[in-house]
Structure formats: C-alpha cells, structure tokens
C-alpha cells in the first residue's frame, strides 16, 4: 500500500493558503497520495479549528496519524525547518554571491574578458548598491538596528537615515567611475566610521547584536561580515582615489 496523507487547507474565492500549497507540494514530492480537503470559508475554517483544537491551518494527517501544521509535518518527515530561527548569514551570502556573478558578467560585457581588477571593483560597487537597497527597503527598521551600535548615529540620529543613501549613491558612481572625488571620500568616511563602530561593539565591548548591513530584521549577526563590508568600502575608496587622482 502507498503512503497516504490528508491535508486540510484554506481555499476560498479570495484566498488560497500558501502554506497549504507548500504542504501539498512536499507531500506529493515525497510520494504520498494526498487527500486534499478544502476549507472554503472563514466560518468553515473556524469550526474546523475549534473541533480539532488547533489554532491554524493547514493541518496534516499522515497514514492516519495527526501530525499538525506545516512545520510539524516537515519535522515528522525528517526535513529541516523552512522558517529558521536565530542568527543567519544567508542574506549576505546571497548578496555577495549575486554581486560577484554580476561583476563577472558585467566585466565580460564591458571588456570582452575577465579582468580581475575590474571584477573586484565591480563586485564591491555592486555589493554596496545591493546592500543599500536592502537598507532602503525599510529605512525605519534599518535605522533602529543601526542605532544600536554605530557611534556616529548615536550622536546624530539623522545619520542613520542618510547612511543607506550615501552607500548606494557611492556604489552607483563607482560602477561608472564618475564623480569619484565625491563617491570615494563619502565611502571612505562611512566605511571608516562603520568599521570602528563594529570593532568597538563586537571585539571590545563583546556585545551580541544583529547587524543592519543587510537591512533591518535580517538576523545577520554583527561581527566579521559586518566589519568586512566596511573594510571593503574603505579599500574601494582608497583604490579609486589612487586610480583616478
């Protein structure tokens, strides 16, 4: 006999539960024959939750055993949790990986080959732009986390709101190699202040904080990666000044 599962999920005229769809996909990929039962109204979902003593849907039964919600189902099947808790470097790993790929292809498009120096320049500039975008998508959340460790922002709160614009703008100018007399000093300034702030908070005060480098709420721990971001900006700024002047 094949493996069987029963899935209870919300499917109404104006809402299809995404977690229910994910559960259905996981079960089908796992070789289960899925009895897909729809809860077609808020009232039906409310009655279902009251009758079964649960607080949310979807709910899953596997081979007659009541398993629970989506994450409980993943645990039951021996799968890692999809919603990971605690610190993670995933956001910055993705940003740096994509930025490096963009640098490679942009260098090839511009020069017809892969020039290491140009690739490195583009990589840092693209990284600054993407990191800036991540900060700007929720400026309030970024500034709140940034204020927990940045030395200058603590004295001048508005600096926390200006920082992402400076980082992004400097990155944009550095991609094209234009207005370097503005972009390089700006990047050098914010990179130096950031490096000193991170070093003080992490290595002197030994504080465990979240880094705002990939935006507010990213769960990236403040530490080596944060310091690296600032050192990269400083190095890029110095290099651009030497190269152009």
Tens-digit pLDDT profile for residues 175-187: 999 999 999 999 9
Among 24, 8, 2, 4, which Cα is nearest to 65's?
A: 4
Domain containing 13 — which CATH number? Answer: 3.40.30.10
Indicate the SS3 state at residue 166.
helix
The phi, psi pair for 147, rounded to 5°, reads -65, -15
Judgement on whether residues 58 and 122 belong to the same structural domain of the protein: no
Position 238 scores a pLDDT of 95
Judgement on whether residues 191 and 230 belong to the same structural domain of the protein: yes
Residue 199: beta bridge partners?
Answer: none
CA 109 – CA 150 distance, rounded (Å): 38
User: What total of structural domains would you count in the chain?
Assistant: 2
Residue with structure tokens 């020069």? 111
Judgement on whether residues 146 and 215 belong to the same structural domain of the protein: yes
Render pLDDT for 16-33 as a digit per residue (tens, 0 to 9): 999 999 999 999 999 999
Position 1 scores a pLDDT of 54
pTM of the model: 0.80
Confidence of residue 96 (pLDDT cuts 50, 70, 90): very high
Note whether residue 162 is domain-resident.
yes
Mean pLDDT across 30-57: 94
Judgement on whether residues 201 and 158 belong to the same structural domain of the protein: yes
Confidence of residue 102 (pLDDT cuts 50, 70, 90): very high
Render pLDDT for 156-177 as a digit per residue (tens, 0 to 9): 999 999 999 999 999 999 999 9
């Amino acid at each position: 006999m094949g493996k069987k599962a029963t899935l209870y999920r919300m499917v109404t005229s104006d809402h299809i539960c995404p977690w229910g769809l994910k559960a259905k996909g996981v079960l089908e990929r796992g070789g289960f024959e899925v009895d897909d039962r729809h809860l077609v109204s808020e009232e039906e979902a409310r009655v279902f939750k009251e009758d079964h003593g649960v607080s949310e849907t979807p709910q899953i039964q596997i081979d007659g055993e009541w398993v629970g919600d989506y994450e409980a189902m993943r645990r039951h099947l021996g799968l890692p949790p999809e919603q990971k808790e605690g610190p993670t470097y995933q956001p910055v790993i993705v940003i740096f990986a994509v930025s490096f790929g963009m640098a490679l292809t942009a260098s090839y498009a511009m020069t017809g080959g892969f020039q290491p120096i140009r690739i490195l320049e583009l990589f840092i500039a693209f990284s600054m732009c993407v990191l800036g975008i991540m900060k700007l998508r929720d400026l309030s959340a970024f500034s709140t986390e940034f204020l927990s460790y940045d030395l200058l922002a603590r004295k001048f709160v508005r600096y926390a709101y200006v920082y992402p614009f400076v980082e992004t703008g400097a990155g944009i100018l550095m991609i094209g190699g234009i207005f370097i007399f503005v972009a390089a000093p700006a990047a050098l300034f914010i990179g130096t202040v950031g490096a000193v702030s991170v070093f003080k908070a992490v290595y002197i005060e030994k504080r465990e904080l979240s880094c705002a480098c990939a935006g507010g709420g990213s769960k990236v721990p403040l530490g080596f990666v944060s310091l690296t971001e600032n050192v990269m900006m400083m190095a890029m700024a110095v290099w651009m000044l030497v190269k152009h002047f």
